[in-house]
Amino acid sequence: MAKIAKKLTDTEIKSTKPAEKEVNLFDGDGLLLRIAPLVKGGKKNWYFRYAVPVTKKAN
């Protein structure tokens, strides 16, 4: 059975601080928040992973 990801809350996103390594917070259904290391500025970027239906290639 597939593991169900817990949805991220606004408080959880704002309270997560950059660390020495890259941090990934998963929101489920291919959506993730990637927090860059503090050395690289600690930016927070959203990524959406999907597969093209015709070719089945993942992005």
pLDDT at 15: 92
The model's confidence at residue 48, banded by pLDDT at 50, 70 and 90, is very high
Average the pLDDT over each of 24-33, 34-43, 49-58 and give the range with the smallest value: 49-58
CATH number at residue 16: 3.30.160.390
Contact call for residues 38 and 18 (beta carbons, < 8 A):
yes
Which residue, among 22, 12, 15, has the nearest Cα to 43 in the 3D structure?
A: 22
Show the domain range for 51.
1-59
- The beta strands (E) that lie in 1-59 are given as 23-28, 31-35, 44-48
User: Which phi-psi region, left, alpha or beta, contains residue 12 (left: φ > 0; alpha: ψ -120 to 50)?
Assistant: alpha
Does 56 score more than 80 pLDDT? no
Cβ neighbour number for residue 35 with a 10 Å cutoff: 20
- What is the distance between the alpha carbons of residues 16 and 21, in angstroms, rounded to a whole number? 13
